Amino acid sequence: MPTDPVIGVLAVQGDVREHLAALAECDVVARPVRRATEIAEIDALVLPGGESTTIDKLTRAFDLREPILDRLKAGMPAYGSCAGMILLADRVVDAIEGQQTFGGIDMTVRRNAFGRQVESFEEDLRVTGVDGEPVRAVFIRAPWVEEVGDAVEVLATVAEGPAAGRIVAVRQGNLLATSFHPEITGDIRVHRLFVEMVRSAG
């Protein structure tokens, strides 16, 4: 792998620009991915926040699904935030009929678990692998993880409130997922964690 890994951001819907900006601060080459041919040109992939059902439909419409699946099965690192977490889950509760995921993380995720848009909130979280002060986590119609398999490392849980104890960040091998949106806070430490995973995989 070259000195600067090439990390793609799936650019069919969602927080694409925000992820590209965060990655650009992490000494990598960040580029949007919209075509199947571009999947072969990246070392890792970010699945952004947005609407998981829409992203699923668009990846199929643009013939991106199979190339992404092939790369993930071959070990390509990936990071999913919010909707991206759903897309990396092996199982989804409250999925729309016909909704598909890429899978890869042995977890069950509940869509929109924290409620509607008006019930979005922020919380300071301790995230394993992220040094320094807590991460300011922004939850927007976010999922949470209901259960994980033995191979999944839990990186963060909600500390307070009615959702206390709910899992909101996980890792399995080269795959990372968060319920929250680090790309919109200006804190790039979660992205740096992912970049470290990409470099280690290379």
Active site residue ranges: 82, 181, 183
Helix (H, G, I), strand (E, B) or coil at 63: coil
- DSSP for 104-119 reads -EEEEEETTTT-SGGG
HSE value, Cβ hemisphere, 13 Å, CA-based, for 134: 12
The answer to whether the beta carbons of residues 52 and 86 sit under 8 Å apart is: yes
Question: For the chain, give me the number of helices (H) and strands (E)?
Answer: 6, 12
- DSSP for 67-107 reads HHHHHHHTT--EEEETHHHHHTEEEEETPPTT------EEE
